[in-house]
Structure 1
Amino acid sequence: MFDLQSIVRENVWRMKPYASARDEFKGTASVYLDANENNLGSLAGENYNRYPDPHQKVLKSKIAGIKGVKQSQIFLGNGSDEAIDLLFRMVCRPGLDRMLHLPPTYGMYEVSANLNDVQLDAIQLTPDFQLPVAEVLRNVKNTTKIIFICSPNNPTGNSINPESIETILDNFDGLVVLDEAYIDFSETPSWTTRLAEYPNLVVLQTFSKAWGMAGLRLGMAFASEEIIAILDKIKPPYNINEATQELALKALDQDEQLKYMVEEIVQERQMLEAALPTLPIVEKVYPSDANFILVKVKDANALYTYLLDKGIVTRNRSTLAGCERCLRISIGTTEENQQLYQAISEFSN
C-alpha cells in the first residue's frame, strides 16, 4: 500500500519551507516596505517592481476550473522540468535510491536522475512502443522511488495502453509520474480525472505545446493535495514570474481558440500521416497522438542533412534504441508541411 511519508526523504519531511515576505503578510496595504523591492517603480512596466504571488493563487484557480481539479492539487513550475527535478529531490536519496523509465522517451528523466545522483533503470518499450508491464514490475527494487511514463510518448507519439498504466499504479508503492505534455492532441482522457483513485499518481502537463507558450516556460503537475503540499514546500519561493502568470491568465481566457488550433494541428498531422508513406524513401509513419510524427526512412542521416540544406529542421532520432533510421517531425503550418513534403519527395526522386 502506498504511504507517502515512507517514500519522502526524511529531511524533506521534517524541513520548514522558506517564508517569503509575501508569505508572512497576506493582506493588503498602502505602503509595502517588507520585501526590499524598488518602490520607485520598474523599468519593465507597471507592477513588475513587486514580487509575484509565490503561490499563483489566481492562476491556479483558473486552471482548476478548466481541468476539473482542486486548486490544492496543482503545482506550477518553470516548465515541467522543474517539477521533474523536484520530484527527484522529494523522494530520492542521492546515491541510494533508484528510478525507472522506459526508453525511447523524454531525455530529461535521465538527466535529472544523473543530476540528483539517482540510480537509473531503463526498460525498453516493446517494438510497438508499449509498456512491458511484467518486465517493469520484475525490475522494481525496494529502493525504486519513481517510475516515469510518457503518454503520448516522446519521441514515438503514441499513447500508452491505459490498462498497462493501471497495473503499474496498482502494483508499485512509489510515485508513478505520467507525463502528458501532448495530451491535448490525443483523444485519450487525461489521468487528471483519476487522481482520487491513485494517491501515488502524479500527472505532468505543460503550456508549451497545445497552448503555444513554450517561450514562457510554464509547466503543471497534478497530484494529491499531500504531494502538492510537499512540492510547494521545496520549490523556490517565486518560481513563476509575474509576466508569465499574467500571460497565462490571458491565454486561459481563450480556451475556445485552443480547440481550433488543436484541430488544425491534428488535421495537418493526419495529412502527413497519409501522404508521406507514398514516398519511396519512407518506410513507416508511426501512429501519433501528439503534435509530431516519427518517420522511419531508408537513410535518416542523408535525409536530415538534405532537409537542413533546404532550410527545414527536423530532429534526427536514429541514434535512439527502437528509433533507428527515424526522424521526428513536428507538425507545422499548412505551408511548412507542404514544403516538407515537397523536399522529401524531391529527395526520394
Structure 2
Amino acid sequence: MSNSLAQQLARPELLAMTPYQSARRIGGSGDIWLNANESPFAETEPSYNRYPEFQPDALIENYSRYSQLTPEQVLASRGADEAIELLIRTFCIPGQDSITICTPTYGMYAISAATCNVAVNTVPLTDSWELDPQLTDKLNGSKLLFICNPNNPTGSTLTPQQLEPIVAKLSQQCIVVVDEAYIEFSPELSMASLIKQYPNLVVLRTLSKAFALAGLRCGFMLANQGIIELAKKVIAPYPIPAPVAEIASERLTEAGVQIMKEHVAELNQLAAKFKEQVSVLEGVSNVYSSGANFILIRFNDQRWFNALGEAGIVVRNQSNVATLENCLRFSIGSRSEMKRLIETLQQIAKQQAA
C-alpha cells in the first residue's frame, strides 16, 4: 500500500476537506496574542489561559525518539481509545464500510465502530487464541483490521514474524492496526520498526499502562505520514491539554523511560510469581500465559468472583465474553496487593474444598 491507497481508502469527503484552522495551527509571531478569543488573565502558574499546541513539540519529539520513528510518523491523542475512533472516522463511511476484529479482544473497537454506524466483521481467534489462518480471506471488504498484541483480555501474544505476512498480504487492500497498549511488557513483539516498510501499518500506543499515567489520557498513533495527515483532519483542534503534555513529556525523557523499565521488570516478576502460586490452587482450571500486566484465569465457577468482591478485591469478570466463561482477569498490582490477593485466593480455595 502506498500513501495513494491511504487516500483511496479514506472517506472521499475528507480528501477535499481543509481541517479546522485553529489559532495554534495557523501560528504567528508577536508579543500580543489577540487571535484565539482567549482570556488575557493568567490565573494559574504555569499559565493555562492560552490554548495548547495542536501537537506539542516536546511531546512528539520525545515519543518519536522513544519509538525510534520520525515526528511526522507520530500523532498524540487522548489515549489510544481516541486513536481507534479517529481511524474509523477517517477511513470508514457510515452505513457502508466495516472493520474487522478478532474476538475475544478489546471491546472499544466494536463500540467505536457502532457509534460511527460502521459495521463490525468478526473473525474469532482459534481455540488456542491464535489468529484464524484464513483471516486475510475473511475480511469481507473491511478497510481496517484491528489486532491487539498483547491481546486484551486474553494476554496472548503474536510475534512480528506472525504478523508481518498479514500486513504484507493486505498491503493493497486494508490498513492493519496493531494495538500495542501493553507492548512495554513484551517489547520484542513490537511492530513499530516495520512502519516505514509498510504504509498500511498503524501501531497504537498509550502511556496508561507501563508509564503509569492512566489518569492523563495520553496515547499515540504511529503510522506513515500519509495516514497521520489524514487523521489530523479529523482530530479535535486542541487534543492534548497543556498539563498532560508537560507531564507526559517529562516521563518520556531518558530518566523517565528508565523508571518505566524498572517498574515493568518488577511487575513481570510479580506476574510470574503470581502465576506459579495460583496455578496449584484447587478450583483453578487454567492460568493463561500473558505478555501484558494482567493474567487471565479460568475457575471452576463464579463463586471465586463473588468471594473476591466480598473480600474487597476488585477484578474484571470476563464471563460475559464468548469463550471466557468463569474467567477472571487480574491486573498485576504492587507487592503488598499481590500478597493479599494470593492469600485471599488460597483462603477461598480452602473454603470451597471443605
Paired position in structure 1 for 2:300: 298
Q: 1:148 aligns with which of 146, 149, 168?
A: 146
Residue 157 in structure 1 maps to residue 155 in structure 2? yes
Residue 38 in structure 1 maps to residue 42 in structure 2? no
Residue 236 in structure 1 maps to residue 236 in structure 2? yes
Residue 269 in structure 1 maps to residue 263 in structure 2? no
| Structure 1, unaligned runs of 5 or more | none
C-alpha distance in 2, partners of 1:161/1:330? 23
SS at match of 1:84: helix
C-alpha distance in 1, partners of 2:318/2:63? 34
The Cα RMSD (Å) is 1.2
C-alpha distance in 2, partners of 1:125/1:35? 49
SS at match of 2:188: coil
The change in CA–CA distance for 1:49 and 1:187 in structure 2 (over 3 A counts) is closer
Residue 259 in structure 1 maps to residue 265 in structure 2? no
C-alpha distance in 2, partners of 1:108/1:189? 22
Paired position in structure 1 for 2:215: 215
CA contact (8 A) 2:267 2:293 kept: yes
C-alpha distance in 1, partners of 2:164/2:323? 24
Letter in 2 for 1:6: Q
Letter in 2 for 1:72: E
Deviates more, 1:166-175 or 1:312-321: 166-175
Residue 24 in structure 1 maps to residue 26 in structure 2? yes
Q: Provide the aligned length of Structure 1 versus Structure 2.
A: 344
Q: Which runs of 4 or more aligned residues in structure 1 lie more than 4 Å from their structure 2 counterparts after TM superposition? A: none
Residue 85 in structure 1 maps to residue 85 in structure 2? yes
CA contact (8 A) 1:203 1:223 kept: yes
CA contact (8 A) 1:133 1:164 kept: no
C-alpha distance in 1, partners of 2:281/2:321? 24
SS at match of 2:143: strand
Q: 1:15 aligns with which of 8, 17, 23?
A: 17
Tell me the TM-score normalized by structure 1.
0.96
Paired position in structure 2 for 1:130: 130
1:253-309 superposed Cα distances (whole Å, 9 cap, x missing partner): 21111111000000000001111011102111101110000001111x211111111
| Structure 2, unaligned runs of 5 or more | none
Q: 2:290 aligns with which of 288, 291, 306?
A: 288
C-alpha distance in 1, partners of 2:48/2:159? 45
Letter in 1 for 2:85: D
Report % sequence identity: 36
SS at match of 2:290: coil
C-alpha distance in 2, partners of 1:257/1:99? 37
SS at match of 2:329: strand
C-alpha distance in 2, partners of 1:250/1:205? 17
Deviation at 1:187, TM superposition (A): 4.4
